[in-house]
């Protein structure tokens, strides 16, 4: 006797959309770990620059940039997704926007320290002659 019901995983269907409420929490996790990765790269690159002979003022400026730019941007992204997850209905479009924002956050966290430190080293070399 054949069943009219196809094989199915418990609680999942092909057309189900993940709940929008979890997006705020997931963005918090991504923002926190991206900030940790950003800070670790920033510290490692600054220490490498110090070993190469850059001044100690370079460290202070690089770490102030970390606090002044990275933390507010990550916090604003996190707040926006908490607001969206509370107000928006779950949809694939919302999840596509979430994946795009996560991708942008991680690209920024992994590339900006290299750009910032190399640019600051080039500026310091140009100033000192």
pLDDT per position as a tens digit, 85-122: 888 777 778 888 999 999 999 999 999 989 888 887 78
The structural domain count of the chain equals: 1
**If we measure between CA atoms, which residue out of 110, 70, 87 comes closest to residue 20?**
87
Is residue 75 one of the residues assigned to a domain?
yes
Low-confidence residues in the chain, pLDDT < 50? 9, 14
Which structural domain, as residue segments, surrounds residue 120? 22-128
Is residue 51 one of the residues assigned to a domain?
yes
* Rounded Cα–Cα distance for residues 114 and 98 (Å): 25
Is residue 45 one of the residues assigned to a domain?
yes
* Rounded Cα–Cα distance for residues 116 and 122 (Å): 10
pTM, 2 dp: 0.76
| Mean pLDDT computed over every residue of the chain | 81
pLDDT for the residue 30: 94
């Amino acid at each position: 006797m054949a069943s009219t019901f196809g094989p199915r995983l418990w609680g999942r269907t092909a057309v189900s959309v993940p709940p929008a409420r979890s997006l705020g929490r997931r963005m918090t996790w991504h923002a926190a770990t991206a900030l940790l990765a950003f800070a670790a790269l920033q510290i490692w690159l600054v220490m490498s620059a110090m070993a190469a002979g850059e001044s100690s003022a370079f460290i202070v400026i690089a770490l102030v940039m970390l606090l002044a730019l990275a933390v507010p941007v990550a916090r604003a992204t996190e707040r926006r997704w908490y607001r969206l997850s509370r107000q928006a209905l779950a949809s694939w479009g919302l999840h596509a926007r979430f994946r795009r924002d996560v991708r942008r956050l991680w690209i920024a966290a992994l590339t900006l320290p290299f750009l910032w430190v190399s640019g600051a080293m080039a500026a310091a070399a140009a100033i000192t002659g």
